[in-house]
Each structure stands twice: as C-alpha cells, then as structure tokens.
Amino acid sequence: MQSVEIPQLIKYSMTPIDEGVLLCIWEPAPLSESRVRPFLFMARYRLASETEAQQILEYYETIYEAAPTETPA
C-alpha cells in the first residue's frame, strides 16, 4: 500500500486489489464531541488501473491547491 500526504490538506492511499486499485482520499481532522471519525471527508474509488487513480488524485490536488488556505475576515 502506498500512502502519501499532500501538504497539510489531504492524504491518500493506493492499494492494489484483484480488480485494479483502491484509491482512498481523505482530509484529516481532529476528533471532537461532534466528530467521531478523524477526517472531514473520505472518498474511496475502485479503479481499473493506477493511471486512473493518478488522474483522480491529480484532480483533487488541483482543487486543493486552488482553495484558499484562510477564511477571509
């Protein structure tokens, strides 16, 4: 299993499966009284190839790079 972090925003893992690759992407977040899982979101994709997984990952990276890092006052 390959697991990597995109600087301070999202993490992902690519795991080989019989049908191809399982790509998991999530944004970590601390647990709290209202958050029972340690992430803001998690998406799982079953894909035929690592190339397809890389394309989806690049899309997420593009979105997160374009997102503002601070909320305007």
Tens digit of pLDDT at every position of the chain (73 positions)? 555 544 467 899 999 999 999 999 999 988 888 888 988 899 999 999 999 999 999 999 888 776 655 544 4
pTM of the model: 0.74
Task: Specify whether the CB–CB gap between 24 and 43 falls below 8 A.
Answer: yes
Which structure tokens are listed for 12? Answer: 């992902």
CA distance 8 to 28: 9
Which structure tokens are listed for 34? Answer: 């209202």
